[in-house]
Structure 1
Amino acid sequence: MDKKVPEGVGEKLARLRLKFRSKTEGELDQLAEIASQLTCGDQARPDMTESIASAYSALHRLAGSAGTFGYNELGDHARVLEERLKPLAERLSADIDKDSDHREEDTQQLLEVIAEAQHLRTLLDGTVEPMEGKPGHQPRDSEQDSEVAPDIQVILCGLPEKTAVFLEQALSNYGFLISRMDVESLPLAEKTRMAAVVTSEDELARVSSALEPSESAGNASRPPLLCLGRQDDFNSRYSLAEAGADAFFPEPIDAPKLAERIERLVNDQNEPVSGKILILDDDEYLVTRYCTVLENAGFCVRAINDPETVLSELSEFRPDIMLLDVRMGAYSGTTVAKLIRFDPEWLSLPIVYLSSERDKHVQLEALAKGADEFITKPVSDDYLVRTAQIRCYRAQQLNELLIKDSLTGLLKHSVIKQEVENEHARCQRMSHVSSVAMLDLDHFKAVNDQYGHRTGDVVIKALSNLLRHRLRSTDLIGRYGGEEFAVILPECTTDEAQKVLSQICNAFADISFATPDGDLSVTLSAGVAALNAFASGSDALDAADQALYERKTSGRNGVTVFHQV
C-alpha cells in the first residue's frame, strides 16, 4: 500500500508542478516565436546558432524533467525531438559551417523540429491528473533525539533449555533485555517491542511464519531473525536464508559475535537512513522538487545552481553524497566532478550524475571522469529517495570504519577529543551548559590477568552497550583508551550528569559475567567537569580526568564532580 503524502508536502509539490507547467508553456511559446521569425525575411531572422541552442536547451530540459512532474508522454516526445536536433546543435556549437551554405538546410531542419514541438503543447494541456508524491521515511521528531535509547529486547524462542539458559546469561551481559517465549505465543506478542528473535534451525520455519506481519499491521516489518545451527556448510546456510533467517551462528555459539550481530541488525532496521546531500543543478523547479522529496524522507539537503561555489559549499556543508547535473549552461558536470577529485579530501565522496543522457558510451565516459553512478532523468520520487538511502548508508558505513572503535562501536580517541572541542565551541557560541565525563573500569588489569582478555573484551563491550542504552541519543560516547571512556553530555549540568552516571554505575555493578571460574562483577568510576567552565575542551577533559582520579583514590564505584579550588 502506498504511503500518503503528509499534509503540506502534497500541496507544495502541486504548487511546484503548476510552476513547472507555467514555465514550460512559456518555453513552448518561445519556440513558436522562433519559428515565426525564421519564416520572415532575411533581415528579421534571428541568429541561427542562438535559435538552435535555445530550442535544444528547452527540449533537453523537458526530456529530463517532464516525467518527474507527471508529464511522461511529453517528456518522451521531447527526448525524440532533442535527439533529432542534437547533431545540428553540436556542429554549430563547435563553430563548424556557421555561415556556410548549410544555413537553409539548418533552418528547414529546425522548423520541422519546432513544428513537431507544437504537439508538446497538446500533451501538456492534456495531462491534468494530479501527481501524488511518495515521501518515504518521515522526518524524526527532534524532541525524540533527546530521549534515552530504549532497551534492546531479544526474544529467545524454540531453543533447547541449556542453550536458552546460556544465552540468557551471556546476552544480558551486553545490556540486552532477554525474554523467553514459545513459538505458539509469538503471534500474540507485541512485535513492535521485539528488537530481535533468536531461534534454532529446527524451529526456524515456524518462527519465521509466526513473525510475518498481519494485514492489520500494514507496512510494519518483522524483527531480525537470528538462527543457531549444528551444520555449517553452503547448503545448510542456503536453506536457512531461504527460510527467512537474517543471520546464522553455528554451534558452539560465540556470544560476543552474536551480541554484535544483534546490535547491528537492530540498528540497521530501527534507524531510518538519512544523511546530508548536496545538489548542483541549474533547473530550479527540478531542484526544488528534489529537495522537497528528499527532505520529507529525512535527509538534510542543500542545493546550489552555480558551479563556481561548489568547493566552498563542500567544505562548509560536508555532504555524505552529491547529486550533480551533467549539463549546466556553459559548465560541464563531468568537468566539475573531475575538479572536485583534485582534492584528496573528496576522493571518497559519492557523486551521482543526474542527466537525460541515455547514450551508454557517453555515460561511461562521464563516469570515468570522477562519478560513481549515472541516473537518467526523469527520476521518480521513490527512485531518488532509494538511491539516496543506499548511497548515504554505504558512505556512512565506510565512515564508521574510520571513526569508530572496532570492538565497541564507539567513537575513536581522536574523534571524541575533537567532538569535545566542537561542543566546547558550541557552548561558547550559544551560552549552553554542557558536561564532559571520563569513565574507567575498576581493577580492570586484574580482570584480564585472572580471566583473560576475551572476558575483558566482553566486559568492555557490555559497558559500551549500557552507555548507549542509558544515555540520550544526542550524547556522544568514545573509547578513550583500553578500559577508559569519554562522554559528552550537551546541555546537561554537572549535577544532572552525576545523577545519570551514578545510575549507570549502579546498573553496571549489578551485571554478572559468567566465566569458567565463576561469576564476575566489575564496577565503574567516573569524573565529571563542566565544559563551559574552561578555556578549551582539552582543559575540561583534564578536569574530568582529575575528578576521575579523585574517585579512584576515594573508593571507586561512583561519580565525582570536579570543583575548582
Structure 2
Amino acid sequence: MSTARNDKTLLFLEDDRDLQALVCTFLRDRGYQVTPARTAAEAREVLQSKPVDAAIVDGLLPGMTGADFIRELRKTKPDLPVLFASAFWKDLKSHELLTRQLGVARVVHKPYRPEELAVWLEQLFAVAPPPPPPQESQDEEDAEPVDDFAASLALLSADYGAKLPERLATLQALLGKGRHGDAAAMEEAYSVVHKLHGTAGSYGFRDVSITAGALEDVLRPVKTGGTLDWARVDAGFRALEDRVSLPVLAPEPEQAVVAAMGTLLVVDEDAAVLADARRMGEREGVRVVTASTPQEACAAVEKQWVDGALLHMGGAGLATASALRAMEGHQSLPLAFSSTSGGLQERVNAAHAGASLFLPRPFTQQDFATAAERLVATRRLERAKVMVVDDDPEAVRALSQALVSDAVEVVGLENAYGLLDALAQHRPDLLLLDVQMPGPSGFDLCRILRLTPEWQELPILLITAQVGLEFRLAAFQAGADDYLAKPVLKEELRARVHARLERARLSRERTERDALTGLMLRRPFVEAVATRLSEARRSEKPLALCFLDVDHFKKVNDQHGHLAGDRVLMRLGRLLGARFRREDLRARWGGEEFVVALLGETPESAKEILSRTAEELSAMTFEGDTGDTFHVTFSAGLAVAPGDGTTLDELLRVADARLYRAKENGRNRIETE
C-alpha cells in the first residue's frame, strides 16, 4: 500500500540498475515522483524536459564524476537541492568541495538503505509526518497497550511549560545584574539561554528553542570576551518573552496514565483462574494477558512484549513452556509454574522446562505479587542501559523519558567530572554526551574514554546545537560514533540509539556466542561460573556442573557427513538453550563437548533434570547428507560444589573424569560418582 505524502519530483542519477530499481520503488511508495537516469546525458534530457525539485547524484558516473556533473549543473540550476551518494569522498577537502563549493545539501555514504535516503529527503523538503490513523475500537482483551511514553511526555511538557515564565523571570533578573557589570550573572544568563535552546524543543516548545538559540548567539561574546550589543540583547529577550507568553495547551486529564509494573502472561485452562489473575494484576499494577492453550499463548507473545509467563503444571503447561521457549527471541523467557501437589518430580520437570519459580495452587494475592515481581525483574535484566550526561537537569529528564522502555534503562548524570566513576558503577551499553558543559566538554570526555581500554568500544553519541561541517568532523575525530542536533526529536533519538545498541549487541554476540549453537563460548562461561560460585557460597547452595559429550560423534561425521554433524551440534545447542532456568549457564566447550552449570541443584536433582534433556535428544531424528536418518545420544559427568570442589578448576576436573567413566561404562549415561 502506498504511503504518499507529497508530490516532489526527483532526478535519480545512478548507473547501478539494481540499486536504481530498489530506491525508485521505495521512494515512489513514499509519494515522490522519481525519474531515473543512468548517464549524465540522460540526466540532461530529464532536466530539459521537466522541472525537478531535487536531484540524487551518484559519485561515479559513466564517463565523468558526479562532482563534475554537479559543477556543470550549477551553471543552469544554482539553487537545485542535491544529495550526493558515494562510497568515497569522506575526507575534509572532499566535504568542503561538495558542500561549500558545489552546494551539495547532504553527502550520503554508500552503502545506504532507501530508508536513510528518505530521511534526508524529508529533512530537505521539511515534509511533515502524516497524522496518525484513527484507532478502531477493540475488545478489552485485544486492545493494544496504552502509549505510556506519549502520555508521560505530555505531562512533562505541561510541567515544563508551566515553569517557563519562572525561568524567564530568572533570566531577566540576571540580565539586569549583567547590565551593571556583574560578570558572574552574565555567565549564568548565558547558561540559562543555552539550556532553553537545547531543551525546550525536546518538550515540544520548538519556537521557544529557536528564539532562545538566536538570543544565545547574541550573548556569545560573554563566552569569548567580546562586547555585548545590549540593544540586540533586549530585542532577543523580548522575542523570547513573546514566545513564552503564548498560550500553551495542557494535556487533557485523561491522558495521565499509570505505567504498569510489567506484563505477565498467565496460561491456564481454568477460566476462573484466569479471571482471578486479571483481578490480582489490577491490584498489583501488573498488566495480565491470558491464554488457555499453547497456541493462544504463542499468539499473545507474538503480538506484544511480555515480561514472563505463569503456567499451570497440569494440562498443557509443559507443552506451553516448550512452545514459548522455541519462539525466536524468547529462548530465555522467564517462567513460573503453579501446581496443586508440587512434588519433587514436578519441580524437576519445571526446572528442566525453564521455570525459576513454583507456586502452590490455588495461588494467593501474595503468591501472585511475588511471582510477578520476580519474573518482571528477571526480564528487565535484559534491558540495555543508556547513560545520559548533561549539566541541565531538564535535558537529562527529557532524554531519559524519551528513551526509557521495556528494552532500555536510563541513568542520568549532571556532573561530567564524575563520569568515570559512574561508568564503573553502572556499566552502560551506550553513552549520550552533551558537547557544551562546564568543565570538560563532550569532545574532551570522548577523547578520554577512547584512550581508556575498558571504554574504547562503548558507543558514544554527542548532543549539540552546532551541526556544521567543522563540528561533525571534530566529533568523529574525538571518537564519537554519532551526533544529534538540538532540539532533539524523540523519534530520531530513539532510532539512532536503538540502532547503535543493536549493533553493539550483535558485536557482543559475535565475541561471546558460538555461531553454530548459539551458546556461550568458553571464556564468558568461565567468567559467569565464577560469579555463580560466589553466589552459591554466599547463599550456601550447591552448584552442579555437567560435562556432556555427543556419543560416537566422529562416526556421525564419517558415516553421515560433516554437515549432518553440524546439524546435530546446532540442535543440541538449541535444546540446551531452550531448557533450564535463566540463571543456569550453558556453553559449547569445544568440538562436540558442552558444559552446563545449574545453581541450587543436588546431584540427584541435577541428574534427573539432565536425563530429561538426554531423552529429548535421543528422540530426535537426524538426516544425513545422503538422506539417511539416524539418532544420537550423549554421555555426561556431573560434579557438585562444594562436595566435589569449591573452584571451577576442581569441578571441571571431577566432571571430566566422570564423563570419561560414563564413556567407559557404555555411553548414553550420566555419572555422578
Whether the TM-score (by the shorter chain) exceeds 0.5 is yes
The alignment partner of 2:404 has SS state of helix
- Separation in 2, partners of 1:427, 1:23: 52
Residue 26 (str. 1) matches residue 166 (str. 2): yes
Structure 2 counterpart of 1:560 = 671
State the identity %.
Answer: 28
Counterpart amino acid of residue 441 in structure 1: V
Name the structure 1 match of 2:308: none
Q: 2:240 matched to 1:113?
A: no
Name the counterpart of 1:525.
635
Question: In the alignment, which of 179, 191, 198 is matched to residue 64 of structure 1?
Answer: 198
Distance in 1, Cα, partners of 2:420 & 2:326: 35
Equivalent pairs counted in the alignment come to 435
Tell me how far 1:142 sits from its aligned partner: 8.9
Q: Aligned to 1:556, what secondary structure does the other structure show?
A: coil
2: CA distance between counterparts of 1:139 and 1:291? Answer: 18
> For residues 403 and 396 of structure 1, what CA distance do their matches in structure 2 show?
10
| Structure 1 counterpart of 2:650, one-letter code | D
Contact 1:439 1:527 in 2 (8 A): yes
Which of 162, 175, 187 in structure 2 is aligned with 1:53?
187
Letter in 2 for 1:536: T
Query: CA–CA distance in 2 between the matches of 1:413 and 1:35?
Result: 63
Deviations 1:15-45 (A, max 9, x none): 6446544654332112221344466xxxxx1
1:193 Cα offset (Å): 4.3
CA contact (8 A) 2:633 2:668 kept: yes
Counterpart selection for 1:449 from 548, 558, 575: 558
Partner of 1:128, secondary structure, is coil
Which secondary structure state, in structure 2, belongs to the residue aligned with residue 290 of structure 1?
helix
Q: 1:321 to 1:336 in 2, by over 3 A?
A: same
Pick the aligned partner of 1:406 from 506, 515, 520: 515
Match for residue 250 of structure 2 among 108, 124, 128? 128
Contact 1:274 1:393 in 2 (8 A): no
Decide whether aligned partners of structure 1 residues 379 and 490 sit closer, same or farther in structure 2, where only a CA change above 3 A counts: farther
- If asked which structure has higher relative contact order (CA below 8 Å, sep 6+), I would say 1
Counterpart secondary structure, 1:302? strand
Q: 1:469 to 1:319 in 2, by over 3 A?
A: same
- The question of 1:435 aligning with 2:568 is answered no
Q: State the one-letter code of the partner of 2:201.
A: G
- Cα deviation for residue 304 of structure 1 reads 1.9
- Summarize the Cα distance change of 1:305–1:542 in structure 2 as closer, same or farther, 3 Å threshold: farther
The aligned counterpart of 1:542 is 653
Cα distance between partner residues in 1 of 2:209 and 2:332: 38
* AA matched with 2:432: L
Equivalent in the alignment of 2:417: 308
**What is the CA-CA distance between 1:356 and the residue it aligns to?**
2.7
Question: What are the Cα deviations for residues 492-540 of structure 1, in whole angstroms up to 9, with x where unaligned?
Answer: 4443332221111011111222223832211112223334554223322
Supply the AA of the counterpart residue of 2:193: L
| Cα pair 2:152 2:256 within 8 Å, conserved | no
State whether structure 2 residue 483 is matched by structure 1 residue 374: yes
Normalized against structure 2, the TM-score is what?
0.57
Amino acid of the structure 2 residue aligned with 1:560:
E
CA distance in 2, matches of 1:191, 1:345: 45
Tell me the distance in 1 between the aligned counterparts of 2:596 and 2:253: 48
Output aligned runs, 1:284-299, within 5 Å: 284-299=393-408
CA positional deviation for 1:12: 5.8
Letter in 1 for 2:634: L
Report the Cα distance in structure 2 between the residues aligned to 1:121 and 1:517, rounded to whole angstroms.
75
- Cα displacement (A) at 1:264: 12
Q: What does residue 85 of structure 1 align with?
A: 219
Q: Counterpart of 1:440 in structure 2: which amino acid?
A: D
**2:254, 2:589 → 1: CA distance?**
50
Instruction: Give the Cα separation in 2 of the matches to 1:57 and 1:264.
Output: 54
1:278–1:321: 8 Å Cα contact kept in structure 2? yes
Shift of 1:326: 0.9
Residues 10, 132 of structure 1: 8 Å contact kept: no
Instruction: Go from structure 1 to structure 2 and tell me whether the alpha carbon gap of 1:306 and 1:10 turns closer, same or farther (over 3 Å shift).
Output: same
The C-alpha deviation readout for 1:427-481, integer Å capped at 9, x for no partner, is 2344444432211111222223333333222211121111122333443221102
The equivalent residue for 2:62 is none
Q: In 1, distance between residues paired with 2:448 and 2:612?
A: 52
Quote the offset at 1:80 in angstroms: 2.5
**How many Å separate the matches in 1 of 2:591 and 2:255?**
50
Q: Deviations over 1:264-302 (max 9, x none)?
A: 994499999941222222222332343344332322332
**RMSD across aligned positions (CA):** 3.8
Residue 203 of structure 1 is matched in structure 2 by none
1:321 to 419, 430, 455: 430
Q: CA deviation at 1:402?
A: 1.2
Does structure 1 residue 486 correspond to structure 2 residue 595? yes
1:280, 1:324 within 8 Å by CA — same for their partners in 2? yes
Q: CA deviation at 1:396?
A: 0.9
Provide the residue aligned with 2:463 in structure 1: 354
Matching residue within 542, 551, 558 for 2:662: 551
Q: Secondary structure at the match of 2:515?
A: coil
Letter in 2 for 1:414: R
Q: Displacement, 1:354?
A: 1.9
Shift in Å at residue 140 of structure 1? 6.6
Q: Counterparts of 1:61 and 1:131 in 2: how far apart (Å)?
A: 29
* Whole-angstrom CA distance in 2 between matches of 1:265 and 1:4: 21
Give the Cα–Cα distance (whole angstroms) in 1 for the partners of residues 480 and 178 of structure 2: 41
**Alpha-carbon distance in structure 1 between the residues aligned to 2:230 and 2:410:** 43
1:364 deviation in Å?
2.7
> 1:344 aligns to what?
453
Following the alignment from structure 1 to structure 2, what is the Cα–Cα distance between the partners of residues 27 and 378?
Answer: 18
* SS of residue in 1 equivalent to 2:463: strand
Stretches of structure 2 lacking an aligned partner (at least 5 in a row): 1-132, 136-143, 267-293, 306-324, 334-378
Partner SS state of residue 354, structure 1: strand
Offset, 1:491: 4.2
Q: What do the CA deviations read for 1:319-359 (whole angstroms, capped 9, x no partner)?
A: 22111111122320111001100023322221011223333
Question: Is the partner of 2:457 in helix, strand or coil?
Answer: coil
Q: Which amino acid aligns with 1:83?
A: D
Alignment of 1:500-519 (within 5 A): 500-515=609-624, 516=626, 518-519=628-629
Mind listing any 5+ residue stretches in structure 1 that lack a counterpart?
Answer: 40-44, 97-101, 145-188, 196-216, 221-262
Q: What letter corresponds to residue 89 of structure 1 in structure 2?
A: V
Structure 2 CA distance for partners of 1:546 and 1:289, relative to 1, 3 Å: farther
CA distance in 2, matches of 1:391, 1:31: 38
Q: CA offset at residue 138 of structure 1?
A: 9.2
Letter in 1 for 2:241: Q
2:487 is matched by which residue type in structure 1? P
Instruction: Call closer, same or farther: CA 1:482–1:132 in 2, change over 3 Å.
Output: farther
- Give, in angstroms, the shift of residue 371 of structure 1: 0.3
Please give the secondary structure, in 2, of the residue aligned with 1:436.
strand
- Verify the 8 A CA contact 1:67 1:379 in the aligned structure 2: yes
Summarize the alignment of residues 90-105 of structure 1 with structure 2, pairs less than 5 Å apart: 90-92=223-225, 102=227
Equivalent-residue separation in structure 1 for 2:299 and 2:517 (angstroms): 23
Distance 1:267 1:219, change over 3 A: closer
Deviations 1:96-151 (A, max 9, x none): 5xxxxx4xx5434333322333224314x53434699999x99876999xxxxxxx
SS of the aligned residue for 2:462 comes to: strand
Q: CA deviation at 1:11?
A: 7.4
1:466 to 550, 575, 600: 575
Residue 407 of structure 1 deviates from its aligned partner by 2.2
Where 2:590 maps in the other structure, the secondary structure is: coil
